[in-house]
Amino acid sequence: MFSSIKWKFIVVYFLLVFIAMVIVGIFIIGKLETQQIANITNTMEQRIEAIIRSSSYLSEEDWTMVQSDIQETVNNWRTSSNEVLYVIYGDDIPVILASTSKQSHKIIGQNALSYKLDPTLILRAYDGENASGIVKEANENLLENHVVYPVFTEVGKVKGVIYMVADLENVYITVNESKKILTSATLMALLITVFLGYLIASSITEPIRDVTRKAEEMATGNFNQFVEIRSDDEIGQLANMFNHLTLKLKDTIQEMDLERSKLDTIFSYMAEGVIAVGTNGQLIHANLIAVEVLGLKREYIYSKDFSHNQSFPLEMINVEDVDYDDESTLEGEETVEIDNQVYKVKYAPFKNENNDIGGLIIVFQDITKEHKLDNMRKEFVANVSHELKTPITTIKSYTETLMEGGIDKKVSNNFLSVIDNECDRMTRLVRDLLQLSNLDYKKTLWKKEEVSLEKLIKDILLKLELVFKEKEQELIMDIQEDLPDIVVDKDGIEQVILNIVSNSIKYTNNRSKIAVSLGQEEEYLYIKVQDNGAGIPKEDQKRIFERFYRVEKGRSRDLGGTGLGLSIARQIVEAHKGDISLKSTPGEGTIVEVRLPLQVSVIQT
């Protein structure tokens, strides 16, 4: 309870008033007691002086001779009920000569020094001094005021003493009553003090508690907190500044949240994978792309224990020994392959709030397509070079032989026939390359017209009839009836179908079956060519439409292929907004399907 500033304030206020009242009470009571005793002493002195001046018997040399007269004089003197007067006489042994005491007949003649009177005051009086003092009555707790006056002879010698005793009971009754009054006043003042202190402390602590409660709410994230301003004093200024701080803090938090949201959005949806690695090798953060690249569990991204559950092997990016004291060694660029994907990895250090290196930022840029294109480009150049090298070498060697002469006409004609075939082979290669180039750069001029695919397929198969007969292959046709015509480039689609059927004939054994189907499926016309040949291995099916790609390169080249037919076919079909696909099972056969939309709008180039 006393940890509260309210109760501390009340206790301090209480103690302050209590101490003040105690000090004032002690001062007042002491002053009252002193003043009362002084007044009584003054009255007693005046009365003693009056007795000495007015009594002629006290001027006698021998008081024993006028003892009765002196006793009568003091009896007739008007003294209060609490005062007792003694007349003491004698040089060697001072005795009580007269007294106003009720027991005067018993004490007259007694030695004054051995009676309950103060012998010190008597001796001082005999020395010629006026003396007074407070004496505690024997066997009682009562205090008495004793006043002593000497009576002198004409020659200045002390011949006797007037001793007056006054009871102080009334004085201490008055003092005790005053103490009770002051105690009651002090208690009342303390009660009022506690009440007023509580009100004053509450007026101070309640606004502070209000500010504290609002601050606690703000600590939980609720920034819609405002304090009521109840005054213009320091407490009111504190409340006003708290409200101002709340508004500024709310605006600042909103700006920070907006910036953080922007950064999180950029970070999460950027094309590159980004991770942050601490100096201990633990992952601090990773965006979605990086999670997919590294094969992390997504739930770890937003987990509090994310950095303690995943570590990043720096050797993956060819960084093994990291020296965080040498910042220049913490920047670099590597090319790595992860799960058949190629990434360009850049890394650089980041610093914490103390400007110390806190770890590495690593960026994964997927360059798989670029890498594949580069490889395809290299393969393309190598394949073209290889395809041209063989016929050029053949032509050159045969030409050199003919130039040397001495060859009969028959051999010469055979050589010229070989040279002609190799020239045709190079012509086909160059023609296919030019066609691919035109397709790539969209320079092909398509001649759109309504075409009956049924008639087109029958014409193509009629052209290949002799080839079927040579290989004793069985042709099976399955063509739906009443198929609509389609607007396409006739020569382009004919080249596609001819290439597909020719491939089936070339790569299917003698006396095999080849089925050609034509039909409609929703908004598409499909052309399907199926054979029961050796099929294509699964790993080669993904690349079958790449340029110069052959499953069996030596056999394909012997059969006169350039490895560009299917690549050209796919380009032509895609230009017609269609699709070409291949399915093959090794040992069972291959199915090639072309799908063309009925509403074809051929891409004009």
How do residues 417-450 score in pLDDT, each as one tens digit? 888 888 887 787 777 777 777 777 777 788 889 9
Q: What gap in Å lies between CA 94 and CA 113, rounded to an integer?
A: 7
State the pLDDT at residue 309. 54
Q: What is the mean pLDDT of residues 560-578?
A: 82
Write down the mean pLDDT value for the chain: 82
Q: What gap in Å lies between CA 71 and CA 108, rounded to an integer?
A: 10
Q: Is the pLDDT of residue 301 over 70?
A: no
Least confident of 105-109, 128-132, 578-582: 105-109
Decide if 345 contacts 331 (C-beta within 8 A): no
Q: Which two tokens stand for residue 305?
A: 């224990």
Residue (of 310, 369, 319) closest to 340 by Cα position: 369
Which ranges in 67-165 belong to alpha helices (H)? 67-76, 104-107, 119-126
How do residues 35-82 score in pLDDT, each as one tens digit? 988 888 898 888 888 888 888 788 788 888 888 888 888 888 766 677
State the pLDDT at residue 113. 85
State the pLDDT at residue 540. 82
**Half-sphere exposure in the Cβ direction for 360 (13 Å, CA):** 31
**CA 275 to chain CA centroid, nearest Å:** 20
State the pLDDT at residue 231. 72
Q: What gap in Å lies between CA 567 and CA 439, rounded to an integer?
A: 10
Least confident of 31-45, 132-146, 566-580: 132-146
Dihedral-angle region of residue 294 (phi above 0 means left; psi in -120 to 50 means alpha; beta otherwise) = alpha
**Collapsed DSSP state (helix, strand, coil) of residue 197:** helix
**Collapsed DSSP state (helix, strand, coil) of residue 267:** helix
Q: Which two tokens stand for residue 121?
A: 């005051």
State the pLDDT at residue 155. 78
Q: Considering the entire predicted model, what is its pTM?
A: 0.45
Q: What gap in Å lies between CA 249 and CA 239, rounded to an integer?
A: 15
State the pLDDT at residue 605. 45
Decide if 205 contacts 230 (C-beta within 8 A): no
Q: What gap in Å lies between CA 542 and CA 566, rounded to an integer?
A: 12
Residue 553: exposed, middle, or buried by beta-carbon count in 10 A (0-12, 13-18, 19+)? middle
302 compared with 168, residue with greater pLDDT: 168
State the pLDDT at residue 516. 93
State the pLDDT at residue 59. 79
Decide if 53 contacts 77 (C-beta within 8 A): no
29 compared with 563, residue with greater pLDDT: 29
State the pLDDT at residue 400. 83
Place of tokens 């020719």: 502
How do residues 252-296 score in pLDDT, each as one tens digit? 888 888 888 888 788 777 878 888 888 777 777 788 888 787 776
